[in-house]
Amino acid sequence: MSAPTLRPPSDPAVPSRPAPAPLRPSGLTWTVLRLHRAALLVWVAALLVAGAVLTWMYVIAPNAGVAGGPCAAPPVDGLPDCAAVDAMTTNDVYSAGLDLVATALSYLMLPVAAWAGAALIGRELENGTAQLAWTQSVTPVRWLAAKLAVPAVLLTAGTTAVVLLHVWVRRDENGNLLGAWYDSDVYLSIGPTAVAYALAGLALGALAGLILRKALPAAGAAFAATLVLSYVLRAVRPSLWPTTTITGRAALDLPPDVLVLEHGVVTSDGRRIGNDLACVGSETQNQIRACMKSSRLSDFWATVHPESHFWPLQLVESGVLLAVAGAAVAVTFTVLRRRTA
């Protein structure tokens, strides 16, 4: 027989310890994530779709180059069969996939601004949930800081990942498939400006939500403000960095990777005329001399941004956007302090 196990009698006067609660994330960060989990799921799904599309574009990139290249019928000297090439649409798929991702990155700041104005700030102020949170030992400043910091981190990490993946996929140098670096959508999708635009949209949306305190008006105002900002910066982009002037025959035969801002001629009496394409079609030196003599020209010039200006333009524009975002955040906190003082 086994000996019975002796247990001391429980003392009803001594309360038993409650079972430890399961570990769960807590704090303002977790609150923001739970409250806006629908937006978080949409953002994660968008990143997964973009990653899948870009990975597929990387896989089919070699075939895209073949589909757009020379062929022979029947195939000879290593050239593919024209019948097979004509049946291939890989180059169209490749180009369309890259264009889709580039466009999505270029206009990301618009839905971000509308969401920040409506759901992130405006709706909570309109429904009174923000005021309720301020009575639960959460100061308004901490509340707003968490509201801005959590989506800012997620936007920065996700957008940066997609931009880097997009740059990695653009390994083919075929400009017909990839588009020029200065094309607006391409330009905004392969550099830090994509992240800066998203953060500027977030800050402008938060400011609109705090000022208007209603979801729909804040969404509209944030969307409009961000759209105006993007159009203004697109218009002034060429002037964000000093241009390069090319003279002589080189101005008639510009490489395809330069952004031409102005093209002109210098007359024999020293006058400089812009947007004049005289003698551009001349191929030989004799043709150029004959054209210059008949047109009474002494020189040619072109004002351009070469591809080497890509990073200076990107950094300056990103700096402007981050300054706008910083100013919007500062104004947002100032307005909040005045309204809750």
CA-closest candidate to residue 64, choices 76, 40, 80: 80
Identify the residue with better confidence: 61 or 172. 61
Q: Specify the DSSP class assigned to residue 277.
A: -
Identify the residue with better confidence: 176 or 29. 29
Burial code (b: 16+ CB inside 10 Å, e: under 16) for 22-51 equals eeeeeebeebbbebbeebbeebeeebeebe
Count of alpha carbons within 13 angstroms of residue 219, beta-carbon side:
11
- Please give the radius of gyration of the chain, using alpha carbons only, rounded to the nearest integer: 30
* Number of C-beta neighbours around residue 188 at 10 A: 26
Mean pLDDT throughout 64-86?
Answer: 60
Token code pair at residue 219: 């969404």
Q: Is the confidence at residue 177, as pLDDT, over 70?
A: no
* Number of C-beta neighbours around residue 303 at 10 A: 17
State residue 296's pLDDT score.
Answer: 78
Judged by DSSP in three states, 245 sits in strand
**Are the C-beta atoms of 260 and 302 separated by less than 8 Å?**
yes
- What sign does the CA torsion over 27, 32, 35, 36 have? negative
**Are the C-beta atoms of 234 and 270 separated by less than 8 Å?**
no
State residue 321's pLDDT score.
Answer: 97
Sheet holding 244-247, edge to edge: 244-247, 297-305, 259-267, 272-274
DSSP 101-163: HHHHHHTTHHHHHHHIIIIIIIHHHHHTHHHHHHTTT--HHHHHHHHHHHHHHHHHHHHHHHH
Q: Is the confidence at residue 101, as pLDDT, over 70?
A: yes
* Burial group, residue 203, by CB count within 10 angstroms (0-12, 13-18, 19+): buried
Mean pLDDT throughout 177-198?
Answer: 90
Identify the residue with better confidence: 287 or 205. 205
State residue 217's pLDDT score.
Answer: 94
State residue 22's pLDDT score.
Answer: 46
* Number of C-beta neighbours around residue 124 at 10 A: 20
Identify the residue with better confidence: 71 or 100. 100
Distance CA 29, CA 3 (A): 55
What Å distances lie between residue 152 and 199, 215, 231, CA to CA? 6, 20, 23
State residue 21's pLDDT score.
Answer: 45
State residue 188's pLDDT score.
Answer: 93
Q: What is the pLDDT of residues 16-73, one digit of tens each?
A: 555 444 445 457 788 888 888 899 999 999 999 999 998 888 887 777 655 555 666 6
Token code pair at residue 107: 């206009």
Burial code (b: 16+ CB inside 10 Å, e: under 16) for 282-296 equals beeeeebeebbeeee
* Burial group, residue 61, by CB count within 10 angstroms (0-12, 13-18, 19+): buried
State residue 87's pLDDT score.
Answer: 43
State residue 31's pLDDT score.
Answer: 82
Identify the residue with better confidence: 24 or 254. 254
Q: What is the pLDDT of residues 273-329, one digit of tens each?
A: 777 777 776 667 777 777 777 777 788 888 999 999 999 999 999 999 999 999 999
**Are the C-beta atoms of 64 and 95 separated by less than 8 Å?**
yes
Distance CA 37, CA 27 (A): 15
